[in-house]
């Protein structure tokens, strides 16, 4: 259902056309920088699954970049305990006249029998919200045919071995849903263990080592 954009609490700032620009918590400039890294490899003709889509910026961007089919999924931010709703996605979908499909399903319920398999899987801003991050990666690995793209916050990034910090309360950004801060070595090692032969890591463009809460990374994991 399309609602007036001013009546929706947005997370993604998006241009919906016809002069409509949403005012989300994440600025358009940051989303644009992320998209250039996340979609550094062509999507034309690929099938794409977006796990944790929220307002759907990356789902719609994948479609715009030529993906043959895009399935956007979420639960926590659409109908679960998060503060978001699906209103943003539905309104953007209608305004953009998008063909992106959607399914309300929790990240931990992702499985081939539930969603099928996809050439490219987006797992952006989800990993550190999971109490069981390795299991979460196993879930999305099972539906990935070619490339899994993970964006996540980082901690203990100055260590030269796989490690992670556990946040039992609001230690990370004052957000009780932030559970784990893995370092780049841990994420890369997990992806290797799960069968990805090649993993590329890029530091998020807004990261600043002098501001620990700003540290994030983007990983492209390839089957071959």
- Buried-state track 175-190, b at ≥16 Cβ within 10 A, e below 16: eeebbbbbbbbbbbeb
Which domains, and CATH codes, for the chain?
30-222 (3.40.50.150)
Average pLDDT over residues 96-115: 98
pLDDT tens-digit profile of 145-195?
999 999 999 999 999 999 999 999 999 999 999 999 999 999 999 999 999
First CA to last CA distance, the chain = 41
Question: Can you say how many angstroms the Cα of residue 129 is from the centroid of all Cα atoms in its chain?
Answer: 11
What pLDDT shows up at residue 24? 96
Closest CA to 118 of 148, 143, 151, 100: 143
In terms of Cβ atoms closer than 10 Å to its own Cβ (0-12, 13-18, 19+), residue 200 is middle
Least confident range from 1-15, 126-140, 142-156, 158-172: namely 1-15
Percent over 90 (pLDDT), the chain: 96
Q: How far apart are CA 107 and CA 90, in angstroms?
A: 19
51, burial (CB in 10 Å: exposed 0-12, middle 13-18, buried 19+): buried
Average pLDDT, the chain: 97
Share above pLDDT 70 across residues of the chain, in percent, rounded to a whole number: 99
Q: Residue 18's pLDDT band (boundaries 50, 70, 90)? A: confident
């Amino acid at each position: 259902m399309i609602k007036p954009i001013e009546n929706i609490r947005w997370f993604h700032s998006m241009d919906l056309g016809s002069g409509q620009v949403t005012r989300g918590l994440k600025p358009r400039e940051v989303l644009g920088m992320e998209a250039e890294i996340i979609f550094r490899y062509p999507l034309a003709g690929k099938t794409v699954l977006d796990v944790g889509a929220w307002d759907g910026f990356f789902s719609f961007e994948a479609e715009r970049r030529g993906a043959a089919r895009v399935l956007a999924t979420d639960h926590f931010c659409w109908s679960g305990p998060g503060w978001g709703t699906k209103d943003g996605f539905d309104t953007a979908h209608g305004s953009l006249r998008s063909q992106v499909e959607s399914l309300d399903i929790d990240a931990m319920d992702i499985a081939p029998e539930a969603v099928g398999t996809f050439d490219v899987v987006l797992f952006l801003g989800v990993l550190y919200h999971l109490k069981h991050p390795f299991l979460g990666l196993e879930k999305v690995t099972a539906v990935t045919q070619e490339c899994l793209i993970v964006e996540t916050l980082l901690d203990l990034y100055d260590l030269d071995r796989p490690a992670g910090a556990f946040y039992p309360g609001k230690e990370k950004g004052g957000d009780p849903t932030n559970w784990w801060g893995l370092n780049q070595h841990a994420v890369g090692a997990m992806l290797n263990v799960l069968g990805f032969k090649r993993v590329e890591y890029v530091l998020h463009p807004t990261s600043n080592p002098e501001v620990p809460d700003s540290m994030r990374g983007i990983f492209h994991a390839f089957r071959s």
